[in-house]
């Protein structure tokens, strides 16, 4: 998606009002700082939505402008050119290659990762393939059409690892690239066989009997970092203080969302304001929202670098990145560290 026409950032503008006749001026008023955030319309946006719904950004004098993208790989140029300030998505080959060309973009906090026993990202198989007996095990992936969101994104590692566990390789499947909305339509039309499907799409498709969650990717690749929050140069260089305040508000949303989940990764009873916000954002019913399996998000923002390093190894071996930029060169943990110092270490709220 090409993003054009975004308003420039003016930090802490002053507005002076007064009566011309009396020549009496009111005190200067500080305007809120605007932060433009790229979102992907998936459940990984949940901490952002919670923080917005509960007024945490407003409390930090920040106004949020949302822009929807299909994949984080599409946000690299807008981030680098300061058209957007924050993005959420995987650490992609496009990001490594962009940083290698001196683009200043950093991963600043965890956004979503998998957890044992919670089927957030699954190998999702079309229902009729299961019913007919065509698909019984991962070995049956051979020859099937398999979708992932975009080329060069790190979740490709999840596909490769799943194939390897079944004695297969990438060339044994027909890989196609499309966003979750198009994947859902293709599954319904039987133009697609299998995907790496996330929420909230998987829940809606299971309810419509379009497909089944065949296997949790965490079963063969535990604690996988699915997405991270990314800052561009507008916050890394020009407005670091705004970046600090944004992270503090975001981390409050992360923690509230974490508190709202039970041990099965489902939204617990109560939290009606979160459910209402998700109804608006995801266009799902409260019943659907309470039956979808959530990702995990680190309430202190910590990113699992072991998972990131495995992704990097795969992308290098696959020839998608040069290998000059290492995973630790993509991180700036200072924003999350300052937020934790301000808020204190996370302690899960008692239920």
Q: Say if residue 54's pLDDT is above 50.
A: yes
Distance CA 198, CA 294 (A): 9
Predicted confidence band at 72 (pLDDT cuts at 50, 70, 90)?
low
Residue ranges covered by each domain of the chain:
14-115+224-343, 122-219
| Interval 239-298: pLDDT, tens | 999 999 999 999 999 999 999 999 899 998 889 999 999 999 988 899 999 999 999 999
pLDDT at 20: 38
User: How long, in residues, is the chain?
Assistant: 351
14 has pLDDT over 90:
no
Percent of the chain with pLDDT over 90: 67
Given this model, what pLDDT does residue 343 score? 97
CATH level 2 (architecture), domain 14-115+224-343: 3-Layer(aba) Sandwich (3.40)
Q: Look up residue 261 and give its DSSP letter.
A: B
Confidence (pLDDT) at 198: 86
- 269: tokens are 């009873």
Region label for 59, one of left (φ > 0), alpha (ψ between -120 and 50) or beta (otherwise): alpha
What pLDDT is recorded for position 187?
A: 97
**321-346 average pLDDT score:** 93
For helices 272-282 and 46-53, what crossing angle results, to 10°? Answer: 120
- Non-local CB neighbours of 78 within 8 Å, separated by 6+ positions: 3, 38, 67, 84, 87, 232
The pairing of strands 106-113 and 145-148 is: unpaired
Domains 14-115+224-343 and 122-219 are alike in CATH topology: yes
Show the tokens assigned to 9.
């950032």
pLDDT value of position 83: 95
Q: Which CATH superfamily is domain 122-219 in?
A: Periplasmic binding protein-like II (3.40.190.10)
Banded pLDDT at 31 (limits 50, 70, 90): confident
| Whole-angstrom distance, CA of residue 264 vs CA of residue 271 | 16
State whether residue 140 is helix, strand or coil.
Answer: helix
Q: What confidence tens digit (pLDDT) does each residue in 94-107 have?
A: 889 888 888 899 99
**Averaged pLDDT, 150-172:** 90
pLDDT above 70: residue 29: no
């Amino acid at each position: 998606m090409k993003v054009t026409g975004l308003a420039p950032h003016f930090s802490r503008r002053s507005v002076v009002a007064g009566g011309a006749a009396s020549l009496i001026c009111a005190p200067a008023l500080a305007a809120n700082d605007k932060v433009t955030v790229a979102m992907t319309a998936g459940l990984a946006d949940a901490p952002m939505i919670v923080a917005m719904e509960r007024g945490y950004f407003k409390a930090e004098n920040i106004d949020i402008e949302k822009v929807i993208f299909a994949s984080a790989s599409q946000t690299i140029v807008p981030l680098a050119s300061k058209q957007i300030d924050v993005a959420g998505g995987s650490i992609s080959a496009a990001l490594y290659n962009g940083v290698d060309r001196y683009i200043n973009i950093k991963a600043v906090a965890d956004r979503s990762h998998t957890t044992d026993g919670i089927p957030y990202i699954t190998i999702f198989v079309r229902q009729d393939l299961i019913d007919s007996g065509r698909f019984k095990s991962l070995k049956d992936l051979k020859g099937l059409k398999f979708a992932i969101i975009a080329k060069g994104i790190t979740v490709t590692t999840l596909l490769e690892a799943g194939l390897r566990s079944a004695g297969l390789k990438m060339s044994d499947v027909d890989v196609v690239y499309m966003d979750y909305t198009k994947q859902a339509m293709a599954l319904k039309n039987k133009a697609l066989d299998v995907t790496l499907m996330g929420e909230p799409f998987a829940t809606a498709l299971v309810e419509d009997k379009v497909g089944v969650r065949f296997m949790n990717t965490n079963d063969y690749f535990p604690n996988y970092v699915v997405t991270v929050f990314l800052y561009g140069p507008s916050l890394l260089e020009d407005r670091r203080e705004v970046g600090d305040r944004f992270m503090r508000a975001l981390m409050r949303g992360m923690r509230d969302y974490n508190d709202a989940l039970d041990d099965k990764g489902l939204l617990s009873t109560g939290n009606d304001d979160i459910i209402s916000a998700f109804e608006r954002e995801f266009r799902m019913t409260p019943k659907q929202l309470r039956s979808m399996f959530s990702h995990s998000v680190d309430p202190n923002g910590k990113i699992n670098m072991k998972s990131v390093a495995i992704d990097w190894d795969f992308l290098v071996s696959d020839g998608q990145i040069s290998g000059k930029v290492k995973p630790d060169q993509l991180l700036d943990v200072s924003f999350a560290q300052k937020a934790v110092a301000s808020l204190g270490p996370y302690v899960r709220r008692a239920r």
